[in-house]
């Protein structure tokens, strides 16, 4: 009986299952039938809506030929244009569908995985061109090798295809592994000026002691664990950074609530007190430690009387497992935490810091994101609370006198505001072949440093042609991205690593000598880089400079009226120019640069007497008046479409009607545009890096004595006009800014 019931139960279940399957098949067939009946109508519906949209645009599009003609044109475009494109795409789809399923699947999988991989590792921007290039190369090479595999090796056509495939493969891998392509450019040799100081890159008189301080528990480096010389405390940075992952905690052995204070120290062997210089690295793989890469600066600076510390912030760097939110804030705050820890150690007679640190002379130096962290730390230093979370109190207020930024980022804001500071000594170094930060971003921060005249400070910028991002750090080297993408970089034009670091040694040391040791003999090399050329490798340099003696009466930031200047008593005018307009200085890509000036373009086929003038409707008064020992100052960049050297005359006229003219090249030659190609392929270059050139401003100073020597009757005190006369170079385009007087 039980068997009978079991059989009936199973039969019932089976019947229900069959019924469900039949219902599912019936529903599925019904849905397919419905869609089969709908698909053609749906297709025409999509085309109709497209045509309808184009047709409607014709009702509000004005060609000037009349409304009827406008509607007719768009009617034809909507119908004929849509169906022509439809049949072209339809043909391509039919061809594509006839390809082998294996090939279609391979293309979809390959391109999809390449795009996903590039996007996930976030090593490059604008990845689609690179993805297509990689997949396309594989298709071409694979096609030539696939032919003999399918048709046999004995056929002549197979041998031919194999030969071509081998040749293409060889060329591809040769191209992939060569350092790059020759970078030819117009070379403008500047006259070297005799140095007025000693070479700041030479070793000083002090012997150097080295040691480390740290947590004593580092999992990966002995110098910060069992071999650490001075043990330090940890700090809680959780209020400033976030997204501390489990992998990051596993790798380092700590979280953001107990961040270690680790540093490598180079200290002068002698009686203190010595100025203190902190150097902090930028973003790199956290598993590939960056703090060791500034030993060349540490040794040099300590020998010249600066206590120098390379700060370890590797735990804030990126990883294959992801980055950190708010890392710039954390990097800046950690710098100040190091100052606080060193202050505590300097009061402990058991440590090497005891009575050695001059806390009235502190400099912060940073590379890449560290460069932005350094200036942000100087901002935090004067605040009582953290702007992004006021519950976090700050208690620093150190005498930070100087900030040096090496190839810094400038994308970070604090409380949605730009980082701006008054009266801070500031130096920026940047390379034209920086393939990580391909725009001169730090120039924007340079403009964010205001000089009020209340302190004797300076800000300077040095742009170095053929310098890259990584070679300022010995462990980063010439790879500005990660392998294997480094194989795409054009490294052949680069300076040697030792040459690039020689520039850093010269300018970092010289800047600290001038601002922390108060040695004014080093100032001229920042005002005019030609004073330092004797100590530098041969390449093109561009520099900007400003101090309290500079008084700018036209910076083109006031309004959209091209005839007005910053002063209401100055009138601007142009004559015989192809173009005369005010606008923003451009980066290679579309980022905002926050620097306006006037664009001036001329061509002698149009007029041989193009000019731009500043007329003074009222006599200039101090501090804007000119004297015999003052100088006309302005910044300018060659923005010509071609790589040409631009030269022009500056004509100054005094109230007595006497004029004197100076040829710019007799004072300082203007560099041509600098075409840059970061990668070996122009196909990827434009998509990733944008325009081939980027304008960089040079500060020019023309002493009034130069005008007086040309015409002794000229009187600078009664200056009535300044004219830029473009009668030398046949054609060119100039960006002109920050016109004023330098009261030397």
Instruction: Sort strands 596-603 and 579-584 into parallel, antiparallel or unpaired.
Output: antiparallel
- Smallest Cα–Cα separation from 426: which of 502, 514, 501? 514
Query: The pTM is what?
Result: 0.86
- Top pLDDT among 97 and 36 is at 97
737 and 617, same structural domain?
yes
Q: Is the dihedral of CA 117, 119, 125, 127 positive or negative?
A: positive
Rounded CA-CA distance 228/232 in Å is: 10
Q: Is residue 137 part of a domain?
A: yes
Q: Which of 155, 177, 199 is the last residue in one of the domains?
A: 177
Rounded CA-CA distance 314/370 in Å is: 11
65 and 116, same structural domain?
no
111 and 14, same structural domain?
no
| Average pLDDT score over the chain | 87
* pLDDT, mean of residues 642-654: 93
726 and 681, same structural domain?
yes
Q: Is residue 219 part of a domain?
A: yes
Burial (Cβ within 10 Å: 0-12, 13-18, ≥19) of residue 642: exposed
- The DSSP output letter for 192 is P
Please report which confidence band the pLDDT of residue 12 belongs to, taking 50, 70 and 90 as the band edges. low
**3-class state of residue 155 by DSSP:** coil
User: CA 55 → CA 63, 71, 86, 87, distances in Å?
Assistant: 15, 7, 17, 20
Rounded CA-CA distance 155/158 in Å is: 5
| DSSP per-residue letters across 62-80 | --SS-HHHHHHHHHHIIII
The β-bridge partners of 610 are 726
Q: Is residue 594 part of a domain?
A: yes
Q: Which of 97, 129, 147 is the last residue in one of the domains?
A: 97
329 and 233, same structural domain?
yes
The per-residue pLDDT for range 70-83, each reduced to its tens digit, is: 788 878 877 888 88
457 and 312, same structural domain?
yes
Cis preceding-peptide flag for 23 (omega within 30 of 0):
no
Residues 6+ apart with CB under 8 A from 144: 161, 162, 164, 165, 168
- Top pLDDT among 598 and 591 is at 598
329 and 454, same structural domain?
yes
* pLDDT, mean of residues 148-154: 72
Q: Which of 177, 198, 225 is the last residue in one of the domains?
A: 177
The helix or strand, by DSSP H or E, that contains position 445, with its residue range, turns out to be helix 442-447
Residue 623: CB atoms within 10 Å? 15
149 and 82, same structural domain?
no
Q: Is the pLDDT of residue 36 over 60?
A: no
Q: What is the Cα Rg of the chain in Å?
A: 33
User: Within its chain, how far is the Cα of 410 from the centroid?
Assistant: 8
Q: Is residue 540 part of a domain?
A: no
Where helices occur in 466-565 by DSSP H, the ranges are 497-515, 524-527
What is the CATH classification number for the domain harbouring 731? 2.60.120.430
The per-residue pLDDT for range 701-740, each reduced to its tens digit, is: 999 999 999 999 999 999 999 999 999 999 999 999 999 9
**3-class state of residue 524 by DSSP:** helix
Find the helix packing angle between 101-121 and 127-151, rounded to 10°: 150
Tokens coding 544: 């900007």
* pLDDT, mean of residues 382-400: 92
245 and 149, same structural domain?
no
- Smallest Cα–Cα separation from 655: which of 716, 572, 730, 724? 716
Q: Give the number of domains in the chain.
A: 4
Q: Is residue 516 part of a domain?
A: no
Residues 6+ apart with CB under 8 A from 530: 190, 191, 192, 193, 668
How many residues comprise the chain?
744
716 and 592, same structural domain?
yes
Residues 6+ apart with CB under 8 A from 622: none
Q: Is residue 539 part of a domain?
A: no
Q: Is the dihedral of CA 563, 564, 568, 573 positive or negative?
A: negative
User: CA 154 → CA 147, 158, 163, 165, distances in Å?
Assistant: 12, 7, 13, 16
What is the CATH classification number for the domain harbouring 212? 3.40.50.1820
- Top pLDDT among 680 and 313 is at 313
Q: Give the range of the structural domain holding residue 591, as residue numbers without chain letter.
A: 551-742
| Per-residue pLDDT at 515 | 97
156 and 56, same structural domain?
no
239 and 323, same structural domain?
yes
The per-residue pLDDT for range 662-712, each reduced to its tens digit, is: 999 999 999 999 989 888 887 778 778 888 888 999 999 999 999 999 999
Q: Is residue 523 part of a domain?
A: no
Rounded CA-CA distance 613/661 in Å is: 13
Rounded CA-CA distance 335/325 in Å is: 18
**Residue 376 near residue 412, CB atoms below 8 Å:** yes
Core vs surface per residue 651-666: b (16+ CB within 10 A) or e = bbbbeeeebbbbebbe
The β-bridge partners of 554 are 739
The per-residue pLDDT for range 259-297, each reduced to its tens digit, is: 999 999 999 999 889 999 999 999 998 988 999 999 999
């Amino acid at each position: 009986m039980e068997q009978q019931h079991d059989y009936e139960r199973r039969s019932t279940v089976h019947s229900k299952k069959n019924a469900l399957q039949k219902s599912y098949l019936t529903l599925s067939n019904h849905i397919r039938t419905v869609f089969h009946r709908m698909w053609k109508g749906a297709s025409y519906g999509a085309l109709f809506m497209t045509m309808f949209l184009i047709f409607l645009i014709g009702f509000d599009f004005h060609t000037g030929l009349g409304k009827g003609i406008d509607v007719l044109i768009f009617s034809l475009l909507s119908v004929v244009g849509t169906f022509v494109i439809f049949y072209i795409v339809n043909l391509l789809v039919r061809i594509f569908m006839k390809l082998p399923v294996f090939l279609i699947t391979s293309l979809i999988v390959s391109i999809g995985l390449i795009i996903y991989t590039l996007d996930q590792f976030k090593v490059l921007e604008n990845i689609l061109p690179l993805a297509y290039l990689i997949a396309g190369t594989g298709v071409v090479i694979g096609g030539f090798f696939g032919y003999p595999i399918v048709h046999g090796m004995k056929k002549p056509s197979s041998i031919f295809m194999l030969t071509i495939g081998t040749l293409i493969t060889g060329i591809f891998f040769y191209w992939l592994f060569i350092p790059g392509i020759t970078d030819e450019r117009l070379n403008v040799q500047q006259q070297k000026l005799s140095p007025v100081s000693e070479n700041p890159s030479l070793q000083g008189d002090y012997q150097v002691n080295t040691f480390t301080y740290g947590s004593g528990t580092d999992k990966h480096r002995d110098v910060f664990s069992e071999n650490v010389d001075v043990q330090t405390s940890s700090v809680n940075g959780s209020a400033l950074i976030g997204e501390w992952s489990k992998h990051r905690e596993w790798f380092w052995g700590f979280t953001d609530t107990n961040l270690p204070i680790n540093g490598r120290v180079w200290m002068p062997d002698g009686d203190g007190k010595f100025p203190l210089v902190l150097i902090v690295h930028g973003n790199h793989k956290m598993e590939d430690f960056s703090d060791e890469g500034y030993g060349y600066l540490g040794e040099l600076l300590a020998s010249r009387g600066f206590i120098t510390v390379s700060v370890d912030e590797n735990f804030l760097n990126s990883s294959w497992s992801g980055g950190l939110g708010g890392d710039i804030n954390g990097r800046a705050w950690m710098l100040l935490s190091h100052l606080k820890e060193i202050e505590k150690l300097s009061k402990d007679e058991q440590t090497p810091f005891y009575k050695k640190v001059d806390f009235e002379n502190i400099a912060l130096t940073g590379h890449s994101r560290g460069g932005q962290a350094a200036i942000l730390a100087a901002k935090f230093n004067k605040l009582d609370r953290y702007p992004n979370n006021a519950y976090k109190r700050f208690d620093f207020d150190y005498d930070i006198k100087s900030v040096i930024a090496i190839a810094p980022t400038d994308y970070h804001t604090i409380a949605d505001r730009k980082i701006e500071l008054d009266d801070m000594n500031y130096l920026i170094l940047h390379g034209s072949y920086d393939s990580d930060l391909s725009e001169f971003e730090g120039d924007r921060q340079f403009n964010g440093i205001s000089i009020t005249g209340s302190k004797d400070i300076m800000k300077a910028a040095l742009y170095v042609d053929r310098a890259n991002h990584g070679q300022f750090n010995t462990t980063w080297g010439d790879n500005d991205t990660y392998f294997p993408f480094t194989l795409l970089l054009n490294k052949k034009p680069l300076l040697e690593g030792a040459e690039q670091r020689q520039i850093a040694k010269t300018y970092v040391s010289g800047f600290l000598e001038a601002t922390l040791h108060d040695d004014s003999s080093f100032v001229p090399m920042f005002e005019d880089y030609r004073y330092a050329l004797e100590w530098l490798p041969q390449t093109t340099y561009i520099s900007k400079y400003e101090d309290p003696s500079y008084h700018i009466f036209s910076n083109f930031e006031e309004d959209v009226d091209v005839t007005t200047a910053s002063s209401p008593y100055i009138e601007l005018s142009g004559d015989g120019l192809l173009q005369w307009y005010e606008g923003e200085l451009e980066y290679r890509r579309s980022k905002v640069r926050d620097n306006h000036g006037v664009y001036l373009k001329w061509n002698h086929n149009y007029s041989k007497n193009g000019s731009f003038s500043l007329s003074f409707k009222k006599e200039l008064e101090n501090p804007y008046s000119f004297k015999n020992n003052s100088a006309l100052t302005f910044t300018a960049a060659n923005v010509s479409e071609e790589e040409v050297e631009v030269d022009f005359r500056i004509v100054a006229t005094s109230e007595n009607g006497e004029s004197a003219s100076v040829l710019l090249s007799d004072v300082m030659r203007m560099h041509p545009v600098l075409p840059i190609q970061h990668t070996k392929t122009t196909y990827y270059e434009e998509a990733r890096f944008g325009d081939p050139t980027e304008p960089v401003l040079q500060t020019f100073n023309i002493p009034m004595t130069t005008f007086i020597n040309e015409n002794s009757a000229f009187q600078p005190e009664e200056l009535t006009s300044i004219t830029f006369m473009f009668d030398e170079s046949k054609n060119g385009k100039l960006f002109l800014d920050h016109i004023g007087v330098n009261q030397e």
